[in-house]
């Protein structure tokens, strides 16, 4: 594990300025870029720690505040340990903010994030990887399909609503994906029932996308997030192994 440097950065978008966190190896040499998409709770110390861990493995990692239109992070006040069942107002405050981030807005932002990475001297030339958590898993898939020339690998963990029957379902971009994909699904996840898992896998298979989808037994929605009640240590460590293996195959 190399030394890591983390800094706050601002990214111009079509709709304003997104605050973000950038982590990279401390030697300042260019490394493959990784765009890390947050869960609903947003840019906070735990996500910065995740970015640092990835950077320590040899990558330049960008974690944007996806909710920047509603203010700089943290957009809503969060406790150090997040237990939504004990603090239902957290989701009550977050839900309208999440719903306001439409696919179109998110992909317009993705263009800005990917362009910023492409122009950054700390990032090697060529396509980048994307990884996302909860709502970020959906955006990871959409980004791979919307910007296929810029995404070489994409991963999603405990994602919800990845393959719905709505016209804006993320799985419908499968035919445009050129990246290798990996999904680590939560076990018994109401936001991703078995029929959606099957629909996603079938769409990716039919489109000829290199992909691997797995269900993590005993790991529920949000299992990678160590500052939440959903954390599942075994599932979280398995996710790191899968993600780093994907990145090694890609770069």
Residue 36 and residue 48: Cα distance in Å, rounded? 10
**pTM exceeds cut of 0.95:** yes
d(Cα 4, Cα 21) in Å, to the nearest integer?
A: 13
Q: Is the dihedral of CA 34, 37, 38, 42 positive or negative?
A: positive
Distance CA 55, CA 23 (A): 6
CA distance 13 to 203: 31
**DSSP three-state, residue 227:** coil
Residue 7 phi, psi (nearest 5)? -140, 150
**Is the C-alpha dihedral spanning 45, 80, 129, 104 positive or negative?**
negative
Which residues touch 165 (CB under 8 Å, ≥6 apart)?
none
User: 19-52 in b/e burial notation, b at 16+ Cβ within 10 A?
Assistant: bbbbbbbeeeeebbbbbbbbbbbbbbebbbebbb
Task: Let me know: does 128 contact 22? Beta carbons within 8 Å.
Answer: no
8 Å CB contact between 179 and 154: yes
pLDDT value at position 163? 98
**What pLDDT score does 1 carry?**
61
The residue count for the chain: 251
DSSP codes, 103-167: HHHHHHHHHHHHHHHHH-TTB-SS-EEEEEETHHHHHHHHHHHH-TTTEEEEEEES--SSS-SST
First-last CA distance in the chain: 17
> Greatest CA separation found in the chain?
47
pLDDT tens track, the chain, 251 positions: 679 999 999 999 999 999 999 999 999 999 999 999 999 999 999 999 999 999 999 999 999 999 999 999 999 999 999 998 888 899 899 999 999 999 999 999 999 999 999 999 999 999 999 999 999 999 999 999 999 999 999 999 999 999 999 999 999 999 999 999 999 999 989 999 999 999 999 999 999 999 999 999 999 999 999 999 999 999 999 999 999 999 999 99
Structure confidence at residue 86 (pLDDT): 84
Please report the domains of the chain, with CATH numbers, ordered by start residue: 4-250 (3.40.50.1820)
What does the pLDDT read at residue 67? 98
Q: Which residue pairs from 102-107 have beta carbons closer than 8 angstroms and sit at least 24 positions apart in sequence?
A: 103/142, 103/168, 103/170, 105/15, 105/69, 106/66, 106/139, 106/142, 107/142, 107/143, 107/146, 107/147
């Amino acid at each position: 594990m190399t030394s890591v440097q983390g800094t706050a950065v601002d990214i111009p978008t079509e709709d304003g300025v997104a605050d973000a966190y950038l982590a990279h190896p401390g030697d300042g040499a260019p490394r493959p870029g990784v765009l890390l998409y947050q869960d609903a709770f947003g840019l906070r110390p735990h996500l910065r720690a995740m970015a640092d861990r990835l950077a320590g493995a040899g990558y330049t990692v960008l974690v944007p505040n996806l909710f920047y239109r509603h203010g700089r992070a943290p957009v809503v006040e969060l406790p150090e340990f997040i237990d939504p069942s004990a603090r239902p107002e957290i989701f009550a405050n977050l839900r309208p903010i999440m719903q306001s981030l439409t696919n179109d807005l998110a992909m317009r932002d993705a263009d800005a994030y990917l362009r910023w990475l492409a122009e950054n001297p700390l990032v090697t030339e060529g396509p980048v990887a994307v990884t996302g958590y909860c709502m970020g898993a959906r955006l990871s898939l959409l980004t791979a399909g919307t910007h296929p020339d810029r995404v070489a690998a994409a991963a999603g963990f405990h994602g919800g609503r990845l393959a719905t029957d709505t016209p804006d379902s993320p799985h419908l971009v499968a035919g445009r994906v050129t990246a290798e994909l990996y999904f680590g699904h939560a076990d018994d996840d109401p936001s991703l029932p078995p029929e959606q898992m099957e629909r996603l896998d079938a769409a990716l298979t039919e489109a000829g996308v290199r992909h691997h989808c797995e269900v993590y037994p005993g790991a529920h929605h949000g299992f990678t997030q160590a500052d939440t009640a959903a954390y599942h240590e075994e599932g979280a460590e398995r996710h790191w192994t899968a993600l780093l293996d994907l990145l090694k195959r890609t770069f």
